[in-house]
A and B are shown apart, each in its own frame.
Chain A
Amino acid sequence: MRKIKKQKIYLLALLLPFILFVIGFELGPLVAMIKNSFYADDGIQVTIDQYLTIFKSEFYLQAIQNSLVISLFSAVTSVIIAVIAAYSITKFSQKIQNRLLMIANMTSNFEGIPLSFSFIILLGNNGLFTLLFSKIGGDVFADFNLYSWTGLILVYIYFQIPLAIMLIYPSYQGIKKQWKEASSLLGGSTLSFWLHIGIPVLLPSIVGTFSILFANSMGAYATAYALVGSNYNLLSLQIASLVASDVALKPQLGSAMGVLLAATMIGAMWFNERMMRRIRRDLR
Protein backbone atom coordinates (compact mmCIF):
# COMPACT_ATOMS: atom_id res chain seq x y z
CA MET A 1 0.00 0.00 0.00
CA ARG A 2 2.73 2.32 1.04
CA LYS A 3 4.72 1.64 -2.10
CA ILE A 4 1.80 2.55 -4.33
CA LYS A 5 1.33 5.81 -2.52
CA LYS A 6 4.97 6.68 -2.91
CA GLN A 7 4.86 5.91 -6.59
CA LYS A 8 1.86 8.16 -7.02
CA ILE A 9 3.77 11.01 -5.48
CA TYR A 10 6.61 10.52 -7.96
CA LEU A 11 4.14 10.50 -10.80
CA LEU A 12 2.54 13.68 -9.52
CA ALA A 13 5.95 15.31 -9.36
CA LEU A 14 6.34 14.62 -13.07
CA LEU A 15 3.21 16.67 -13.69
CA LEU A 16 4.73 19.73 -12.03
CA PRO A 17 6.37 21.32 -15.10
CA PHE A 18 3.10 21.19 -16.97
CA ILE A 19 1.21 22.72 -14.07
CA LEU A 20 3.82 25.46 -13.75
CA PHE A 21 3.61 26.33 -17.43
CA VAL A 22 -0.18 26.38 -17.43
CA ILE A 23 -0.29 28.62 -14.39
CA GLY A 24 2.57 30.81 -15.56
CA PHE A 25 1.54 31.36 -19.14
CA GLU A 26 -2.13 30.51 -19.42
CA LEU A 27 -4.22 30.87 -16.26
CA GLY A 28 -1.97 33.38 -14.51
CA PRO A 29 -1.99 35.93 -17.32
CA LEU A 30 -5.71 35.42 -17.83
CA VAL A 31 -6.47 36.10 -14.17
CA ALA A 32 -4.03 39.02 -14.17
CA MET A 33 -5.78 40.53 -17.16
CA ILE A 34 -9.23 40.25 -15.59
CA LYS A 35 -7.96 41.67 -12.32
CA ASN A 36 -6.10 44.46 -14.06
CA SER A 37 -9.22 45.50 -15.91
CA PHE A 38 -10.77 46.54 -12.59
CA TYR A 39 -8.06 49.03 -11.68
CA ALA A 40 -7.85 52.71 -12.44
CA ASP A 41 -5.05 54.07 -14.64
CA ASP A 42 -2.77 54.46 -11.64
CA GLY A 43 -3.03 50.75 -10.94
CA ILE A 44 -3.98 51.27 -7.28
CA GLN A 45 -7.64 52.19 -7.11
CA VAL A 46 -10.21 49.46 -7.66
CA THR A 47 -12.92 50.63 -10.03
CA ILE A 48 -15.07 49.70 -12.99
CA ASP A 49 -14.17 52.96 -14.71
CA GLN A 50 -12.29 51.20 -17.49
CA TYR A 51 -15.44 49.48 -18.66
CA LEU A 52 -17.42 52.70 -18.32
CA THR A 53 -14.79 54.50 -20.37
CA ILE A 54 -15.16 51.98 -23.17
CA PHE A 55 -18.93 52.14 -23.21
CA LYS A 56 -18.98 55.92 -23.01
CA SER A 57 -16.34 56.48 -25.66
CA GLU A 58 -17.62 56.65 -29.19
CA PHE A 59 -14.17 55.78 -30.42
CA TYR A 60 -13.92 52.47 -28.59
CA LEU A 61 -17.53 51.57 -29.24
CA GLN A 62 -16.80 52.10 -32.89
CA ALA A 63 -13.81 49.75 -32.66
CA ILE A 64 -16.04 47.06 -31.18
CA GLN A 65 -18.72 47.71 -33.75
CA ASN A 66 -16.25 47.60 -36.65
CA SER A 67 -14.83 44.32 -35.42
CA LEU A 68 -18.28 42.80 -35.01
CA VAL A 69 -19.46 44.00 -38.41
CA ILE A 70 -16.34 42.85 -40.24
CA SER A 71 -16.46 39.46 -38.52
CA LEU A 72 -20.15 38.94 -39.19
CA PHE A 73 -19.85 40.07 -42.76
CA SER A 74 -16.78 38.02 -43.62
CA ALA A 75 -18.10 34.94 -41.81
CA VAL A 76 -21.50 35.08 -43.52
CA THR A 77 -20.01 35.70 -46.96
CA SER A 78 -17.41 32.97 -46.58
CA VAL A 79 -19.94 30.44 -45.32
CA ILE A 80 -22.27 31.15 -48.25
CA ILE A 81 -19.43 30.88 -50.75
CA ALA A 82 -18.15 27.74 -49.07
CA VAL A 83 -21.57 26.05 -49.03
CA ILE A 84 -21.95 26.64 -52.77
CA ALA A 85 -18.34 25.87 -53.63
CA ALA A 86 -18.17 22.71 -51.54
CA TYR A 87 -21.33 21.48 -53.25
CA SER A 88 -19.80 22.20 -56.63
CA ILE A 89 -16.68 20.33 -55.59
CA THR A 90 -18.70 17.19 -54.89
CA LYS A 91 -19.88 17.25 -58.50
CA PHE A 92 -16.46 16.42 -59.89
CA SER A 93 -14.56 13.15 -60.11
CA GLN A 94 -12.75 11.95 -57.02
CA LYS A 95 -9.39 12.86 -58.47
CA ILE A 96 -10.38 16.44 -59.18
CA GLN A 97 -12.08 16.67 -55.77
CA ASN A 98 -8.84 15.71 -54.08
CA ARG A 99 -6.95 18.25 -56.11
CA LEU A 100 -9.40 21.02 -55.26
CA LEU A 101 -9.22 20.15 -51.58
CA MET A 102 -5.46 20.30 -51.84
CA ILE A 103 -5.71 23.84 -53.19
CA ALA A 104 -8.04 24.78 -50.33
CA ASN A 105 -5.63 23.26 -47.84
CA MET A 106 -2.66 24.97 -49.43
CA THR A 107 -4.24 28.39 -49.46
CA SER A 108 -5.53 28.04 -45.90
CA ASN A 109 -1.89 28.30 -44.83
CA PHE A 110 -1.57 31.58 -46.65
CA GLU A 111 -2.63 34.18 -44.12
CA GLY A 112 -1.42 36.93 -41.84
CA ILE A 113 1.43 39.18 -42.94
CA PRO A 114 2.31 37.32 -46.17
CA LEU A 115 -1.32 37.40 -47.28
CA SER A 116 -1.71 41.11 -46.62
CA PHE A 117 1.50 41.73 -48.50
CA SER A 118 0.19 39.79 -51.46
CA PHE A 119 -2.91 41.92 -51.62
CA ILE A 120 -0.85 45.07 -51.30
CA ILE A 121 1.27 44.27 -54.35
CA LEU A 122 -1.81 43.30 -56.32
CA LEU A 123 -4.34 45.91 -55.28
CA GLY A 124 -2.48 48.52 -53.24
CA ASN A 125 -1.89 52.09 -54.34
CA ASN A 126 0.84 51.00 -56.73
CA GLY A 127 -0.48 47.47 -57.08
CA LEU A 128 -0.31 45.54 -60.30
CA PHE A 129 -4.03 45.43 -60.91
CA THR A 130 -4.49 49.01 -59.80
CA LEU A 131 -1.94 50.22 -62.33
CA LEU A 132 -3.10 47.83 -65.00
CA PHE A 133 -6.72 48.88 -64.80
CA SER A 134 -5.97 52.56 -64.67
CA LYS A 135 -3.80 52.11 -67.77
CA ILE A 136 -6.46 50.19 -69.65
CA GLY A 137 -8.94 52.82 -68.66
CA GLY A 138 -11.41 50.64 -66.83
CA ASP A 139 -12.08 52.49 -63.62
CA VAL A 140 -13.00 49.34 -61.75
CA PHE A 141 -10.69 50.16 -58.91
CA ALA A 142 -11.06 53.91 -58.96
CA ASP A 143 -13.15 53.91 -55.80
CA PHE A 144 -11.44 50.93 -54.35
CA ASN A 145 -9.10 51.47 -51.43
CA LEU A 146 -7.31 48.42 -50.13
CA TYR A 147 -6.41 50.14 -46.87
CA SER A 148 -10.00 50.53 -45.78
CA TRP A 149 -13.08 48.55 -44.89
CA THR A 150 -13.50 47.05 -48.36
CA GLY A 151 -9.87 45.99 -48.48
CA LEU A 152 -10.02 44.42 -45.05
CA ILE A 153 -13.19 42.53 -45.96
CA LEU A 154 -11.60 41.23 -49.14
CA VAL A 155 -8.56 39.92 -47.30
CA TYR A 156 -10.56 38.50 -44.40
CA ILE A 157 -12.84 36.65 -46.79
CA TYR A 158 -9.77 35.28 -48.54
CA PHE A 159 -8.41 33.61 -45.46
CA GLN A 160 -11.82 32.40 -44.31
CA ILE A 161 -12.94 30.69 -47.51
CA PRO A 162 -10.48 27.76 -47.63
CA LEU A 163 -11.07 27.07 -43.95
CA ALA A 164 -14.85 27.16 -44.42
CA ILE A 165 -14.67 24.84 -47.42
CA MET A 166 -12.61 22.31 -45.53
CA LEU A 167 -15.05 22.40 -42.63
CA ILE A 168 -18.22 22.15 -44.70
CA TYR A 169 -17.08 19.77 -47.43
CA PRO A 170 -17.14 16.61 -45.25
CA SER A 171 -20.77 17.16 -44.28
CA TYR A 172 -21.83 16.79 -47.91
CA GLN A 173 -20.50 13.25 -47.70
CA GLY A 174 -23.22 12.65 -45.11
CA ILE A 175 -25.98 13.30 -47.63
CA LYS A 176 -26.70 9.90 -49.13
CA LYS A 177 -27.63 9.47 -52.74
CA GLN A 178 -30.43 7.15 -51.65
CA TRP A 179 -32.10 10.00 -49.77
CA LYS A 180 -32.39 11.95 -52.99
CA GLU A 181 -33.79 8.93 -54.76
CA ALA A 182 -36.25 8.26 -51.96
CA SER A 183 -37.34 11.88 -51.94
CA SER A 184 -37.94 11.97 -55.68
CA LEU A 185 -39.75 8.62 -55.56
CA LEU A 186 -42.08 10.13 -53.01
CA GLY A 187 -42.70 13.01 -55.38
CA GLY A 188 -40.33 15.61 -53.97
CA SER A 189 -38.62 18.09 -56.25
CA THR A 190 -34.96 19.01 -56.05
CA LEU A 191 -35.93 22.17 -54.22
CA SER A 192 -38.03 20.39 -51.64
CA PHE A 193 -35.28 17.85 -51.11
CA TRP A 194 -32.83 20.61 -50.18
CA LEU A 195 -35.41 22.51 -48.13
CA HIS A 196 -36.59 19.58 -46.06
CA ILE A 197 -33.64 17.20 -46.03
CA GLY A 198 -30.43 18.62 -47.43
CA ILE A 199 -30.20 21.93 -45.60
CA PRO A 200 -31.43 20.62 -42.21
CA VAL A 201 -28.75 17.94 -42.38
CA LEU A 202 -26.09 20.50 -43.26
CA LEU A 203 -27.24 23.11 -40.76
CA PRO A 204 -25.25 22.01 -37.70
CA SER A 205 -22.12 22.06 -39.77
CA ILE A 206 -22.97 25.45 -41.29
CA VAL A 207 -23.73 27.06 -37.94
CA GLY A 208 -20.63 25.51 -36.37
CA THR A 209 -18.45 26.73 -39.21
CA PHE A 210 -19.99 30.18 -38.99
CA SER A 211 -19.16 30.64 -35.32
CA ILE A 212 -15.64 29.35 -35.82
CA LEU A 213 -15.10 31.82 -38.66
CA PHE A 214 -16.62 34.60 -36.61
CA ALA A 215 -14.26 33.93 -33.72
CA ASN A 216 -11.39 33.54 -36.15
CA SER A 217 -11.82 37.04 -37.54
CA MET A 218 -12.67 38.67 -34.20
CA GLY A 219 -9.27 37.63 -32.93
CA ALA A 220 -7.39 38.28 -36.18
CA TYR A 221 -4.54 40.70 -35.69
CA ALA A 222 -1.61 40.08 -38.02
CA THR A 223 -3.58 40.54 -41.25
CA ALA A 224 -5.20 43.77 -40.13
CA TYR A 225 -1.96 45.09 -38.66
CA ALA A 226 -0.06 44.54 -41.88
CA LEU A 227 -2.76 46.03 -44.03
CA VAL A 228 -4.00 49.09 -42.18
CA GLY A 229 -1.56 49.48 -39.30
CA SER A 230 -3.44 51.65 -36.86
CA ASN A 231 -5.38 53.54 -39.51
CA TYR A 232 -8.51 51.52 -39.07
CA ASN A 233 -10.41 51.28 -35.84
CA LEU A 234 -10.56 47.59 -34.93
CA LEU A 235 -10.83 46.04 -31.50
CA SER A 236 -7.73 43.88 -31.86
CA LEU A 237 -5.65 46.80 -33.16
CA GLN A 238 -6.85 49.02 -30.31
CA ILE A 239 -5.95 46.45 -27.68
CA ALA A 240 -2.50 46.09 -29.19
CA SER A 241 -1.85 49.82 -29.15
CA LEU A 242 -3.11 50.15 -25.57
CA VAL A 243 -0.83 47.48 -24.14
CA ALA A 244 2.27 47.58 -26.33
CA SER A 245 2.57 50.87 -28.17
CA ASP A 246 5.19 53.53 -27.62
CA VAL A 247 2.66 56.32 -27.47
CA ALA A 248 -0.37 55.70 -25.31
CA LEU A 249 0.17 52.90 -22.82
CA LYS A 250 -3.01 52.19 -20.90
CA PRO A 251 -2.69 48.59 -19.78
CA GLN A 252 -5.77 48.70 -17.57
CA LEU A 253 -7.99 49.92 -20.37
CA GLY A 254 -6.37 47.39 -22.70
CA SER A 255 -7.13 44.66 -20.19
CA ALA A 256 -10.78 45.66 -20.04
CA MET A 257 -10.99 45.52 -23.82
CA GLY A 258 -9.21 42.18 -23.79
CA VAL A 259 -11.82 40.86 -21.37
CA LEU A 260 -14.56 42.10 -23.69
CA LEU A 261 -12.97 40.45 -26.72
CA ALA A 262 -12.51 37.16 -24.91
CA ALA A 263 -16.12 37.37 -23.70
CA THR A 264 -17.34 37.90 -27.26
CA MET A 265 -15.43 34.89 -28.50
CA ILE A 266 -16.60 32.68 -25.69
CA GLY A 267 -20.09 33.98 -26.36
CA ALA A 268 -19.79 32.92 -30.01
CA MET A 269 -18.68 29.45 -28.96
CA TRP A 270 -21.50 29.24 -26.43
CA PHE A 271 -24.04 30.30 -29.02
CA ASN A 272 -22.68 27.69 -31.38
CA GLU A 273 -23.10 25.04 -28.73
CA ARG A 274 -26.66 26.04 -27.96
CA MET A 275 -27.54 25.95 -31.65
CA MET A 276 -25.99 22.54 -31.98
CA ARG A 277 -28.06 21.23 -29.12
CA ARG A 278 -31.25 22.59 -30.54
CA ILE A 279 -30.52 21.23 -33.97
CA ARG A 280 -29.57 17.83 -32.69
CA ARG A 281 -32.76 17.60 -30.68
CA ASP A 282 -34.82 18.46 -33.74
CA LEU A 283 -33.10 15.77 -35.66
CA ARG A 284 -33.94 13.09 -33.17
Chain B
Amino acid sequence: MKPSLTFHKVIIGLLVMYLLIPLVGTFLFSIAGKWDHTILPESYTMKWYIELFQDERFYDAFRRTLFLIVMSVGLSVVIMLPTIFIITVYFSKWEGLLQAAAMLPYGIPPIVGAVGLIKVYSDGPIHIAGTPWILIGAYFITILPFMYQGIRSSLRTINAVQLVDAAELLGATKFQAFRTVVFPNIISGILVSTLLSVALLFSEFAFANLLVGGRFETIQIYLADKLNSSGHLTSAIVITYYSLILLLTGTVLKLTFRNEKNRVVSNKKRILSFFKKQYCSKNTAIEGEK
Protein backbone atom coordinates (compact mmCIF):
# COMPACT_ATOMS: atom_id res chain seq x y z
CA MET B 1 0.00 0.00 0.00
CA LYS B 2 3.00 2.30 -0.07
CA PRO B 3 2.18 5.16 -2.45
CA SER B 4 4.80 5.40 -5.12
CA LEU B 5 7.36 8.13 -4.80
CA THR B 6 7.36 8.62 -8.55
CA PHE B 7 4.11 10.56 -8.36
CA HIS B 8 5.57 13.00 -5.85
CA LYS B 9 8.75 13.28 -7.86
CA VAL B 10 6.79 14.30 -10.93
CA ILE B 11 4.80 16.90 -8.95
CA ILE B 12 7.89 18.43 -7.41
CA GLY B 13 9.74 18.28 -10.69
CA LEU B 14 7.01 20.24 -12.45
CA LEU B 15 6.78 22.74 -9.60
CA VAL B 16 10.51 23.40 -9.47
CA MET B 17 10.56 23.79 -13.24
CA TYR B 18 7.71 26.29 -13.16
CA LEU B 19 9.40 28.28 -10.42
CA LEU B 20 12.90 28.24 -11.83
CA ILE B 21 12.37 28.65 -15.57
CA PRO B 22 11.68 32.40 -15.42
CA LEU B 23 14.75 32.94 -13.25
CA VAL B 24 17.07 30.75 -15.27
CA GLY B 25 15.66 32.18 -18.49
CA THR B 26 16.33 35.73 -17.37
CA PHE B 27 19.83 34.82 -16.30
CA LEU B 28 20.61 33.13 -19.61
CA PHE B 29 19.16 36.08 -21.47
CA SER B 30 21.43 38.45 -19.55
CA ILE B 31 24.56 36.60 -20.69
CA ALA B 32 23.37 35.65 -24.16
CA GLY B 33 24.91 37.15 -27.25
CA LYS B 34 22.75 35.79 -30.03
CA TRP B 35 19.67 33.83 -29.08
CA ASP B 36 16.84 33.65 -31.52
CA HIS B 37 15.59 30.25 -32.49
CA THR B 38 17.56 27.79 -30.44
CA ILE B 39 16.91 26.18 -27.11
CA LEU B 40 20.10 27.51 -25.54
CA PRO B 41 21.86 30.75 -26.53
CA GLU B 42 24.16 30.51 -29.52
CA SER B 43 26.85 32.61 -27.91
CA TYR B 44 27.59 34.10 -24.53
CA THR B 45 28.81 37.53 -23.61
CA MET B 46 29.31 39.79 -20.62
CA LYS B 47 28.74 42.94 -22.60
CA TRP B 48 25.30 43.62 -21.13
CA TYR B 49 26.72 43.67 -17.62
CA ILE B 50 29.59 45.86 -18.75
CA GLU B 51 27.15 48.21 -20.42
CA LEU B 52 24.98 48.26 -17.30
CA PHE B 53 27.87 49.05 -14.98
CA GLN B 54 28.85 51.94 -17.19
CA ASP B 55 25.39 53.44 -17.13
CA GLU B 56 25.32 56.56 -14.98
CA ARG B 57 21.55 56.34 -14.71
CA PHE B 58 21.77 52.94 -13.07
CA TYR B 59 24.15 54.26 -10.42
CA ASP B 60 21.99 57.32 -9.84
CA ALA B 61 18.88 55.20 -9.40
CA PHE B 62 20.78 52.93 -7.08
CA ARG B 63 22.02 55.84 -5.00
CA ARG B 64 18.54 57.31 -4.72
CA THR B 65 17.11 53.98 -3.61
CA LEU B 66 19.87 53.67 -1.02
CA PHE B 67 19.19 57.17 0.23
CA LEU B 68 15.49 56.42 0.69
CA ILE B 69 16.21 53.12 2.42
CA VAL B 70 18.85 54.49 4.77
CA MET B 71 16.63 57.41 5.72
CA SER B 72 13.43 55.48 6.32
CA VAL B 73 14.95 52.41 7.94
CA GLY B 74 17.21 54.62 10.06
CA LEU B 75 14.28 56.75 11.16
CA SER B 76 12.29 53.64 11.87
CA VAL B 77 14.94 52.15 14.15
CA VAL B 78 15.53 55.44 15.96
CA ILE B 79 11.81 56.01 16.53
CA MET B 80 10.44 52.50 16.97
CA LEU B 81 13.05 51.26 19.41
CA PRO B 82 12.26 53.72 22.22
CA THR B 83 8.55 53.67 21.39
CA ILE B 84 8.15 49.92 21.67
CA PHE B 85 10.45 49.79 24.67
CA ILE B 86 8.59 52.49 26.57
CA ILE B 87 5.18 51.08 25.80
CA THR B 88 6.15 47.51 26.65
CA VAL B 89 7.84 48.38 29.90
CA TYR B 90 5.95 51.38 31.23
CA PHE B 91 2.59 51.65 29.49
CA SER B 92 1.64 48.05 28.83
CA LYS B 93 -2.07 48.93 28.81
CA TRP B 94 -1.52 50.68 25.48
CA GLU B 95 0.08 47.72 23.83
CA GLY B 96 -3.07 46.83 21.91
CA LEU B 97 -3.18 50.31 20.46
CA LEU B 98 0.46 50.17 19.40
CA GLN B 99 -0.04 46.77 17.85
CA ALA B 100 -3.09 47.94 15.92
CA ALA B 101 -1.22 50.96 14.58
CA ALA B 102 1.80 48.86 13.69
CA MET B 103 -0.09 46.09 11.94
CA LEU B 104 -2.58 48.26 10.06
CA PRO B 105 -0.26 48.91 7.07
CA TYR B 106 -0.25 45.20 6.42
CA GLY B 107 -3.96 45.27 5.57
CA ILE B 108 -3.78 48.41 3.47
CA PRO B 109 -2.09 47.94 0.10
CA PRO B 110 0.27 50.70 -1.12
CA ILE B 111 -2.11 51.51 -3.93
CA VAL B 112 -4.72 52.55 -1.36
CA GLY B 113 -2.22 54.23 0.94
CA ALA B 114 -0.97 56.36 -1.93
CA VAL B 115 -4.44 57.77 -2.61
CA GLY B 116 -4.63 59.33 0.85
CA LEU B 117 -1.01 60.46 0.87
CA ILE B 118 -1.43 62.34 -2.40
CA LYS B 119 -4.55 64.00 -1.04
CA VAL B 120 -2.89 65.13 2.21
CA TYR B 121 0.40 66.36 0.79
CA SER B 122 -0.45 67.78 -2.60
CA ASP B 123 -1.44 71.12 -1.11
CA GLY B 124 -1.81 72.72 2.30
CA PRO B 125 0.94 73.55 4.77
CA ILE B 126 3.18 70.55 4.10
CA HIS B 127 3.57 70.40 0.38
CA ILE B 128 5.86 67.42 -0.12
CA ALA B 129 3.99 65.42 -2.77
CA GLY B 130 6.38 64.54 -5.56
CA THR B 131 9.47 64.84 -3.39
CA PRO B 132 11.45 62.01 -1.82
CA TRP B 133 10.34 63.16 1.64
CA ILE B 134 6.83 61.85 1.16
CA LEU B 135 8.32 58.50 0.17
CA ILE B 136 10.34 58.34 3.36
CA GLY B 137 7.15 58.80 5.36
CA ALA B 138 5.32 56.19 3.31
CA TYR B 139 8.22 53.75 3.67
CA PHE B 140 8.35 54.33 7.39
CA ILE B 141 4.76 53.11 7.56
CA THR B 142 5.39 50.27 5.08
CA ILE B 143 8.07 48.66 7.24
CA LEU B 144 6.24 49.35 10.50
CA PRO B 145 4.83 45.80 10.84
CA PHE B 146 8.28 44.24 10.35
CA MET B 147 10.00 46.57 12.75
CA TYR B 148 7.30 46.19 15.35
CA GLN B 149 7.30 42.41 15.09
CA GLY B 150 11.07 42.11 15.24
CA ILE B 151 11.67 44.49 18.12
CA ARG B 152 8.65 43.35 20.10
CA SER B 153 9.54 39.70 19.92
CA SER B 154 13.18 40.30 20.84
CA LEU B 155 12.03 42.26 23.87
CA ARG B 156 9.77 39.40 24.81
CA THR B 157 12.48 36.79 24.36
CA ILE B 158 14.83 38.50 26.78
CA ASN B 159 12.09 39.32 29.32
CA ALA B 160 12.81 43.01 29.06
CA VAL B 161 10.33 44.06 31.73
CA GLN B 162 11.95 41.97 34.45
CA LEU B 163 15.42 42.96 33.30
CA VAL B 164 14.59 46.64 33.58
CA ASP B 165 12.94 46.16 36.97
CA ALA B 166 16.04 44.40 38.21
CA ALA B 167 18.33 47.07 36.81
CA GLU B 168 16.28 49.86 38.37
CA LEU B 169 16.21 48.07 41.71
CA LEU B 170 19.99 48.01 41.58
CA GLY B 171 20.00 51.74 41.12
CA ALA B 172 20.25 52.20 37.36
CA THR B 173 18.32 54.98 35.70
CA LYS B 174 15.78 54.11 33.00
CA PHE B 175 18.15 55.17 30.27
CA GLN B 176 21.04 53.22 31.76
CA ALA B 177 18.89 50.13 32.04
CA PHE B 178 17.95 50.42 28.40
CA ARG B 179 21.41 51.21 27.11
CA THR B 180 23.47 48.71 29.07
CA VAL B 181 21.06 45.84 29.66
CA VAL B 182 18.30 45.76 27.07
CA PHE B 183 19.90 47.19 23.96
CA PRO B 184 22.94 44.86 23.75
CA ASN B 185 20.62 41.91 24.10
CA ILE B 186 18.27 42.82 21.28
CA ILE B 187 20.73 44.24 18.79
CA SER B 188 20.75 41.10 16.62
CA GLY B 189 16.94 41.04 16.51
CA ILE B 190 16.99 44.65 15.35
CA LEU B 191 19.55 43.80 12.71
CA VAL B 192 17.31 41.09 11.28
CA SER B 193 14.29 43.42 11.09
CA THR B 194 16.48 46.07 9.52
CA LEU B 195 17.77 43.79 6.78
CA LEU B 196 14.27 42.49 6.06
CA SER B 197 13.02 46.04 5.74
CA VAL B 198 15.88 46.91 3.40
CA ALA B 199 15.05 43.95 1.17
CA LEU B 200 11.38 44.90 1.19
CA LEU B 201 12.03 48.52 0.26
CA PHE B 202 14.37 47.57 -2.56
CA SER B 203 11.44 45.87 -4.25
CA GLU B 204 8.96 48.67 -3.57
CA PHE B 205 7.40 50.07 -6.69
CA ALA B 206 3.80 51.16 -6.07
CA PHE B 207 4.52 54.06 -3.70
CA ALA B 208 7.58 55.16 -5.65
CA ASN B 209 5.70 55.24 -8.94
CA LEU B 210 2.53 56.90 -7.65
CA LEU B 211 4.07 59.42 -5.26
CA VAL B 212 7.14 60.63 -7.14
CA GLY B 213 7.43 58.69 -10.39
CA GLY B 214 10.16 59.86 -12.71
CA ARG B 215 11.02 62.90 -10.61
CA PHE B 216 13.07 60.76 -8.28
CA GLU B 217 14.00 57.66 -10.18
CA THR B 218 14.50 54.67 -7.89
CA ILE B 219 15.86 51.33 -9.03
CA GLN B 220 12.36 49.92 -9.54
CA ILE B 221 11.21 52.94 -11.54
CA TYR B 222 14.34 52.68 -13.64
CA LEU B 223 13.59 49.02 -14.23
CA ALA B 224 9.99 49.74 -15.22
CA ASP B 225 11.21 52.42 -17.60
CA LYS B 226 13.71 50.06 -19.21
CA LEU B 227 11.13 47.31 -19.75
CA ASN B 228 10.50 48.17 -23.34
CA SER B 229 14.06 48.89 -24.41
CA SER B 230 16.88 46.36 -24.58
CA GLY B 231 15.77 43.05 -23.13
CA HIS B 232 19.32 41.84 -22.56
CA LEU B 233 20.32 44.92 -20.62
CA THR B 234 17.15 44.77 -18.53
CA SER B 235 17.85 41.11 -17.79
CA ALA B 236 21.24 42.13 -16.49
CA ILE B 237 19.58 44.69 -14.19
CA VAL B 238 17.05 42.14 -12.96
CA ILE B 239 19.74 39.59 -12.19
CA THR B 240 21.97 42.13 -10.45
CA TYR B 241 19.10 43.41 -8.39
CA TYR B 242 17.83 39.95 -7.57
CA SER B 243 21.27 38.74 -6.46
CA LEU B 244 21.37 41.64 -4.05
CA ILE B 245 17.97 40.72 -2.59
CA LEU B 246 19.05 37.10 -2.24
CA LEU B 247 22.22 38.19 -0.49
CA LEU B 248 20.19 40.28 1.95
CA THR B 249 17.61 37.61 2.73
CA GLY B 250 20.35 34.98 2.91
CA THR B 251 22.12 37.03 5.57
CA VAL B 252 18.84 37.37 7.44
CA LEU B 253 18.30 33.61 7.36
CA LYS B 254 21.79 32.95 8.66
CA LEU B 255 21.42 35.51 11.42
CA THR B 256 18.03 34.24 12.53
CA PHE B 257 19.19 30.70 12.37
CA ARG B 258 22.17 31.44 14.55
CA ASN B 259 20.34 33.63 17.02
CA GLU B 260 16.97 32.12 17.53
CA LYS B 261 17.71 28.54 16.61
CA ASN B 262 14.36 28.40 14.89
CA ARG B 263 13.99 29.00 11.23
CA VAL B 264 12.36 32.05 9.83
CA VAL B 265 11.77 31.49 6.19
CA SER B 266 11.22 34.91 4.76
CA ASN B 267 9.98 38.33 5.61
CA LYS B 268 6.48 37.63 4.37
CA LYS B 269 6.28 34.32 6.10
CA ARG B 270 7.55 35.91 9.25
CA ILE B 271 4.75 38.39 9.36
CA LEU B 272 2.13 35.96 8.17
CA SER B 273 3.09 33.36 10.71
CA PHE B 274 2.45 36.03 13.27
CA PHE B 275 -1.08 36.39 11.97
CA LYS B 276 -1.59 32.67 12.05
CA LYS B 277 -0.33 32.46 15.58
CA GLN B 278 -2.96 34.99 16.47
CA TYR B 279 -5.69 32.98 14.87
CA CYS B 280 -4.64 29.72 16.35
CA SER B 281 -3.86 30.78 19.86
CA LYS B 282 -6.78 32.85 20.97
CA ASN B 283 -8.63 33.86 17.84
CA THR B 284 -8.19 37.42 18.91
CA ALA B 285 -9.20 39.92 16.33
CA ILE B 286 -6.38 41.92 14.92
CA GLU B 287 -7.59 45.29 15.87
CA GLY B 288 -5.99 47.00 12.95
CA GLU B 289 -7.95 44.94 10.48
CA LYS B 290 -11.32 45.82 11.90
A89 within 8 Å of B (CB atoms): yes
B235 within 8 Å of A (CB atoms): yes
Instruction: Please tell me if the beta carbons of A117 and B15 are within 8 angstroms of each other in the complex.
Output: no
How many residues does chain B have at the interface if contact means C-beta atoms less than 8 Å apart?
92
Q: Which chain B positions have C-beta within 8 A of A28?
A: 116, 120
A111 within 8 Å of B (CB atoms): yes
Instruction: Please tell me if the beta carbons of B22 and A110 are within 8 angstroms of each other in the complex.
Output: yes
Distance to closest chain A CB from B11 (angstroms)? 4
Instruction: Please tell me if the beta carbons of A26 and B105 are within 8 angstroms of each other in the complex.
Output: yes
Once the chains are docked, how many angstroms separate the CA of A239 from the CA of B113?
Answer: 11
Partner of A109, one of B29, B199, B209: B199
Once the chains are docked, how many angstroms separate the CA of A222 from the CA of B223?
Answer: 11
Q: What is the number of contacts between chain A and chain B, taking CB atoms within 8 Å? A: 263
For residue A106, which residue of chain B has the nearest CB?
Answer: B246
Q: Which of B12, B21, B80 has the most CB of A within 10 A?
A: B12
Instruction: Please tell me if the beta carbons of A105 and B266 are within 8 angstroms of each other in the complex.
Output: yes
Instruction: Please tell me if the beta carbons of A244 and B213 are within 8 angstroms of each other in the complex.
Output: yes
B210 within 8 Å of A (CB atoms): yes
Q: Which chain A positions have C-beta within 8 A of B220?
A: 112-113, 222
Instruction: Please tell me if the beta carbons of B224 and A225 are within 8 angstroms of each other in the complex.
Output: yes
A236 within 8 Å of B (CB atoms): yes
Given contacts A32-B119, A221-B206, contact A117 B238 (CB under 8 A): yes
Interface residues of B in 233-247 (CB under 8 A from A): 234-235, 238, 241-242, 245-246
- A-B interface, 3 closest residue pairs, ranked by CB to CB distance from nearest: A219-B109, A29-B116, A33-B116
Question: A-side interface residues toward B, CB under 8 Å?
Answer: 7-8, 11, 14-15, 17-18, 21-22, 24-33, 36, 81, 84-85, 87-89, 91-92, 100-101, 103-122, 128, 131-132, 135, 158, 161-163, 166-167, 170, 190, 204-205, 208, 212, 215, 218-222, 225-226, 236, 239-240, 243-244, 251, 254-255, 258, 261-262, 265-266, 269-270, 272-273, 276-277, 280
Question: B-side interface residues toward A, CB under 8 Å?
Answer: 1, 3, 5, 7-8, 11-12, 15-16, 18-23, 25-26, 29, 35-39, 75, 79-80, 82-83, 86-87, 90-91, 101, 104-105, 107-120, 137-138, 140-141, 144, 174, 199, 203, 205-206, 209-211, 213, 220, 223-224, 227, 231, 234-235, 238, 241-242, 245-246, 249, 253, 265-266, 268-269, 272-273, 275-276, 279-280, 283, 285-286, 289-290
